[in-house]
């Protein structure tokens, strides 16, 4: 069993929804990597009773209690007074911390007030955790076989303290065994259909491996987790890989990558490997597809550029879609996306051209072509094809789904080649 930790985030601004708590998220990831299991997270306000009762709850639940926030110099910062009350102890001024604070203020040309000096006061039963980047030190307290660490809420100060001091000391003290994760990333199949498809494999998974479905808009990730005990790192990796190999043939056509790779990164990798290039002509997505593609560092190596022919005039003048075609079939039609895909490919002289035309909504739908109707075109040297989709009534979701479907269409055609 890995050692358990809980995280307590303190701050009214978090509970009011004004500050997004990225600290607890960051700490969770770091503890997980270090092989410490986060059991529960609490977010509470700057209130004495709440802090005290949550310390009690936390202590009953885990060996390690990490606290962020409420360590500033002002009267609404209650973490230190509460620690004193909780452990029935008193403050002792820490000389080394005091010197650090005085140095920090004098190099910035500011006067050191009594309030600033008081930040060097540490509970008598604990020790200071150095805060190189700020004035409020962390506090490390060991009592009844538990470790309490209190850190400032300023993200970069907390991260430096965690990385340099807290994580190394926790690892040394508590970590036997480590959690290993692998991720299989799929696209173009809903969670429930995927679950049906792999039910037998899932049922027969070794007990040491835990499976999780992580759905996001247009994509479902399968996460396999196993715990490594002692020096068995390689064995555990092998165990997970064997299970991945078993399930892959069943779902291969939906798998675009593994672990951290997003679909737009996978497309980039595939294009780069096959020395191919891409251009886009997108109407209803208005640049979102090219934004996804160019969010990947280095994308200028495979992406030449794109048109956003929002008006029919532009579709005709810049991409030579015949006016009669636009009139006869409408802009959201198979013939139009076929011409767009082929002509954008030729205009940029790229291996692949992709085109999009649809009705994002909320207005503009007809009975024949309701909101959410989208045509996507794909053209390479050998063929030009198109596919029709029907998404939702919501404009932003349609834009997102369409871009994902276009990326998937590129992937499928690249895989076929």
Positions 120 through 159 that interact with its own copies (CB under 8 A): 133, 135, 154, 156
Q: By CB under 8 A, how many residues form the interface with its own copies?
A: 106
Q: Is 92 in the site for its own copies (CB under 8 A)?
A: no
At closest approach, how far in Å is the CB of 125 from its own copies? 26
Instruction: CB nearer to its own copies: give 141 or 360.
Output: 360
- Please give the span between the terminal C-alpha atoms of the chain, in angstroms, as a whole number: 47
CB of 340 to its own copies, least distance (A): 12
Rule CB under 8 A: say whether 106 interacts with its own copies.
no
Query: Rounded to the nearest 5°, which phi and psi values hold at 320?
Result: 50, 40
- Minimum distance between the CB of residue 262 and its own copies, rounded to whole angstroms? 12
Pick the closer one to its own copies by CB: 74 or 144.
74
The Cβ of residue 162 has, within 10 Å, a number of other Cβ atoms equal to 24
Binders of its own copies among 170-189, rule CB under 8 A? 179, 181
Of residues 344-403, which lie at the interface with its own copies (CB under 8 A)?
347-348, 360-363, 390, 392, 394-397, 399
Asked if 168 interacts with its own copies (CB under 8 A), we say no
* Structure token digits, residue 347: 């205009």
| Residue number, 75 or 144, with CB nearest to its own copies | 75
Q: Is 108 or 383 the residue whose CB approaches its own copies more closely?
A: 108
Strand 209-216 and strand 219-228: the pairing is antiparallel
Farthest CA pair distance, the chain? 85
CB-wise, 3 or 299, nearer to its own copies?
A: 299
CA atoms of 270 and 302, how far apart (whole Å) = 10
Closest to 320 measured CA to CA, from 285, 355, 278: 355
Q: Closest separation between CB of residue 179 and its own copies, Å?
A: 8
- Give the nearest distance from C-beta 128 to its own copies in angstroms: 18
Q: What is the DSSP code string of 241-290?
A: HHHHHHHHHHHGGGEEEETT--HHHHHHHHHHHTT--EEEEESTTTTHHH
Find out whether 256 and 210 touch, Cβ atoms under 8 Å. no
């Amino acid at each position: 069993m890995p050692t358990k930790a809980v995280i307590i985030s303190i701050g009214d601004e978090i509970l009011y929804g004004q500050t997004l708590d990225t600290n607890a998220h960051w700490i969770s990831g770091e503890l997980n990597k270090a092989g410490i299991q986060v059991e529960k997270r609490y977010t509470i306000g700057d209130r004495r009773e709440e802090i005290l009762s949550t310390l009690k709850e936390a202590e009953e639940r885990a060996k390690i209690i990490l606290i962020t926030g409420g360590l500033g110099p002002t009267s609404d910062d209650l973490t230190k007074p509460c620690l004193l009350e909780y452990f029935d102890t008193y403050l002792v001024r820490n000389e080394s911390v005091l010197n650090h604070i005085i140095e920090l203020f004098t190099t910035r040309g500011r006067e050191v007030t009594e309030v600033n000096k008081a930040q060097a006061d540490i509970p008598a039963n604990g020790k200071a955790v150095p805060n190189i980047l700020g004035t409020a030190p962390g506090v490390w307290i060991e009592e009844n076989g538990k470790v309490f660490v209190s850190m400032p809420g300023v993200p970069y100060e907390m991260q430096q303290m965690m990385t340099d001091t807290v994580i190394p000391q926790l690892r040394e003290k508590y970590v036997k065994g480590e959690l290993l994760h692998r991720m299989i990333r799929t696209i173009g199949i809903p969670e429930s259909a995927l679950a049906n498809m792999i039910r037998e494999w899932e049922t027969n998974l070794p007990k040491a491996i835990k499976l999780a479905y992580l759905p996001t808009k247009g994509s479902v990730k399968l996460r396999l987790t196993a715990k490594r005990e002692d020096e068995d790192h390689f064995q555990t990796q092998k165990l997970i890989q064997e299970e991945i190999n078993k399930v892959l043939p069943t779902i291969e056509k939906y798998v675009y990558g593994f672990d951290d790779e997003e679909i737009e990164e996978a497309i980039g990798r595939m294009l780069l490997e096959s020395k191919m290039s891409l251009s886009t002509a997108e109407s209803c997505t208005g640049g979102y597809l090219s934004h996804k593609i160019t969010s990947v560092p280095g994308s200028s190596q495979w992406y030449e550029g794109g048109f956003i022919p929002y008006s029919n005039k532009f579709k005709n003048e810049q991409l030579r879609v015949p006016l009669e075609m636009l009139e006869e079939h409408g802009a959201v039609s198979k013939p139009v996306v076929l011409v767009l895909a082929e002509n954008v490919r030729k205009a940029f002289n790229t291996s692949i051209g992709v085109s999009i035309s649809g009705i994002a909504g909320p207005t503009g739908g007809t009975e024949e072509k309701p909101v959410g109707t989208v045509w996507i075109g794909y053209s390479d040297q050998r063929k030009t094809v198109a596919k029709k989709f029907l998404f939702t009534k919501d404009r932003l979701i349609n834009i997102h789904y369409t871009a994902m479907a276009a990326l998937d269409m590129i992937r499928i055609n690249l895989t076929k080649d």
